[in-house]
Structures are given as C-alpha cells and as structure tokens.
C-alpha cells in the first residue's frame, strides 16, 4: 500500500463492563506498531489519541432518547462523532486511518468516517460476538455489543444520526468467527441480510475459504471496505488480554493467514481498526503485540 498510515487512538471504555480497554491504544503502540509497519516500507504517522470522558464522571443512564438501554449513549455518540471527523479528515488527506481501540463501540465512528455518503461501503467484522444487539435486545446495556447493529440502523438506532450509516448495506456486511451470540441478537441476525460465518463454518471449511468468500461479499458492488478486528476473535490462549474472551477461537496461524488474504485486497480497503485489547487482563502485552503483527500481515507482510 502506498498510502501513509495514520494511527488514531481512541481510549474508549464506556461501551464495555471491564475497565482497562482504554489503555489499548498505548499498549498497541508499545507493542511496536509503527516499527512493524515501517519495516514493511510503509510511512506511518501518529495522530495521537482522541479525548474520551471518564465513566466515573458520568451517569450511564442520563440520556436514553429512544428507549431501551444503551449505557453512556450520549457520551458514546459524542466520541463517535469525533472519531468520524478524524477518520474522514485522514481519508481526505489521502492517508489510511488505522484506529486503535478502545472498546468496539468506536467502530460506529470509524465506519461513519470511512463511508462516503455518495458511495457504498462493505464491512468485514472479525469477532467472537455478533455486536448485533440493540438497546431493546441487549442483555448488558453495553454499546460494544451493539455497534454493528447501530451502524445498520437497527432498533432505535434508526433514529440516531451519529449511529446509523446508510452507505453500508447489510448485503455487504460479513461477520467472521462467531461463537457467542445472545438469544434475541440471534433472531435479529437471522432476520437480517448480513452474512455470518461461525466458528463451525471455519471448522468445516477452513479460514482461507471463509475469509476469501467474506471479502468477495464485502467488495461485491461496493466502492471500498472497512476491516474491523476485535482481538477476541482469536482464541484466548493466543489473545488473553480482552474483556470478553470466548473459548474456541481461531489460532495464531489462522489469524495470520486471514490477514494475508485481507492484504491481497488492500487496494479496496479504506480503513481498519484494532479493538478490545485490554492490557490489564493481558500477559506481558502479548495481545497488543499480536495486534501489531496482525496489522502488519494485513498490510502485506509475508514470510518470503
């Protein structure tokens, strides 16, 4: 890729129950992100961290305009609008936005910034979870479990302009690696036109075949795609530093080969994010280091 990569940190933890994911951007930087990308011959600049309010200073239930429960809805909306502005400015400058979370709620802002309203954007979402709850179905009230539904304007997110990005069509959205879905979330997902590949699909078909098909669906008829990588997609033995680990995820090698397939489509990729790294729960920063390695593979690092 010949675009300069601009790293944008979003130390956001309002969307999750476990504290500590706000330190993800620092952990990923310390994990050697810039060095890994520069070793590939890429130019990399750091846009710093966006400001995020502290949860201690806010009331999670202060503003619930359209019913249901989405904790820190107002604050999440404000942060996501700042993420959108920063991502859009990066793209307007001809650079590639690499957003570091923070919890997965920030994807709402990344996608809003990446999607040109006059174009269509596909999404490949690597995750153990569907992130397809709405304020009406959520068991937790945590927006990181609702971010994909928000982008698609599900439930009461339909009325919230900061959340819903109409340039994204369900037909071009693909989930990869699912293994933990809530009951009402499952119904919403099954009723939607989103394509979801579970870990059972990966067991039966292998990562290269599933990821290639996922990329085909996301790029089919779209102008560009966004790649969202939740580190809990990997098995917790490889990525222990995440807030909502689920057994039975992809292995180290499978994650790398998936990112190598992503790299083959890199001209179509407009933005990428690495989310849910929680250094408090990690083992000597290995999850953050793995995130850096996977980013390098997604940008074209190969063995030979």
Ligand X SMILES: NC(=[NH2+])NCCC[C@H](N)C(=O)O
**Angstrom distance (rounded) from CA 186 to CA 180:** 10
Contact 85, 44 (CB under 8 A): no
Q: 276 an active-site residue?
A: yes
Residue located via tokens 């429960």: 69
232 labeled binding residue: yes
Helix (H) or strand (E) holding 109: helix 107-114
Kindly tell me which of 132 and 162 has the beta carbon lying closer to Mn ion.
132
| Size of residue set near ligand X by CB under 6 A | 15
The minimum distance between CB 89 and Mn ion, in angstroms, equals 25
Kindly tell me which of 142 and 172 has the beta carbon lying closer to ligand X.
142
The minimum distance between CB 191 and ligand X, in angstroms, equals 17
The minimum distance between CB 297 and ligand X, in angstroms, equals 22
For residue 137 the two structure tokens come to 């179905």
**Angstrom distance (rounded) from CA 187 to CA 181:** 10
Q: Near ligand X by CB under 6 A, which window of 53-61, 139-147, 191-199, 208-216?
A: 139-147
Q: Near Mn ion by CB under 5 A, which window of 65-73, 119-127, 186-194, 199-207?
A: 119-127
For residue 278 the two structure tokens come to 């929680």
22 labeled binding residue: no
DSSP label at 4?
Answer: P
Contact 142, 17 (CB under 8 A): yes
Q: 131 an active-site residue?
A: yes
Closest CA relative to residue 66, chosen from 165, 159, 185, 137: 159
Q: 256 an active-site residue?
A: no
For residue 77 the two structure tokens come to 């909306």
**Angstrom distance (rounded) from CA 231 to CA 245:** 9
From 13, 103, 104, 289, active-site residue: 104
Q: Residue 6, interface with ligand X (CB under 6 A)?
A: no
Kindly tell me which of 133 and 165 has the beta carbon lying closer to ligand X.
133
Kindly tell me which of 105 and 297 has the beta carbon lying closer to ligand X.
105
180 labeled binding residue: no
Output phi, psi for 103, to 5 deg. Answer: -80, 170
The minimum distance between CB 246 and Mn ion, in angstroms, equals 8
Interaction site with ligand X (CB under 6 A):
104, 129, 131, 133, 138-140, 142, 144-145, 182, 230, 232, 244, 276
């Amino acid at each position: 890729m010949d675009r300069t990569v601009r790293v944008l940190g979003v130390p956001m933890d309002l969307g999750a129950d476990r504290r500590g994911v706000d330190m993800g951007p620092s952990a990923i930087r310390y994990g050697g992100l810039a060095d890994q990308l520069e070793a590939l011959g890429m130019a990399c600049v750091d846009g710093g961290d966006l400001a995020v309010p502290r949860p201690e200073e806010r009331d999670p239930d202060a503003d619930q305009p359209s019913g249901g429960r989405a904790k820190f809805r107002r604050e999440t909306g404000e942060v996501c609008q700042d993420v959108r502005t920063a991502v859009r400015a990066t793209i307007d400058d001809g650079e590639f936005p690499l957003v570091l979370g923070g919890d997965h709620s920030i994807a709402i802002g990344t996608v809003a910034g990446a999607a040109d309203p006059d174009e269509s954007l596909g999404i490949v979402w690597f995750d153990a979870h569907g992130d397809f709850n709405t304020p009406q179905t959520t068991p937790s009230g945590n927006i990181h479990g609702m971010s994909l539904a928000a982008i698609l304007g599900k439930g009461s997110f339909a009325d919230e302009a900061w959340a819903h990005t109409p340039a994204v069509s369900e037909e071009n959205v693909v989930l990869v690696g699912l293994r933990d879905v809530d009951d009402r979330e499952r119904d919403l997902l099954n009723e939607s036109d989103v394509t979801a590949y579970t870990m059972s699909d990966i067991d039966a078909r292998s990562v290269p075949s599933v990821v290639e098909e996922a990329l085909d669906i996301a790029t089919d008829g779209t102008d560009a795609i966004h790649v969202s990588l939740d580190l809990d997609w990997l098995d917790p033995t490889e990525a222990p530093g995440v807030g909502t680990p689920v057994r039975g995820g992809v292995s180290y090698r499978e994650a790398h080969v998936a990112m190598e397939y992503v790299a083959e489509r890199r001209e179509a990729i407009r933005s990428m994010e690495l989310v849910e790294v929680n250094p408090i729960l990690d083992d000597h920063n290995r999850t953050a280091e793995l995130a850096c390695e996977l980013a390098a593979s997604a940008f074209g690092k190969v063995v030979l």
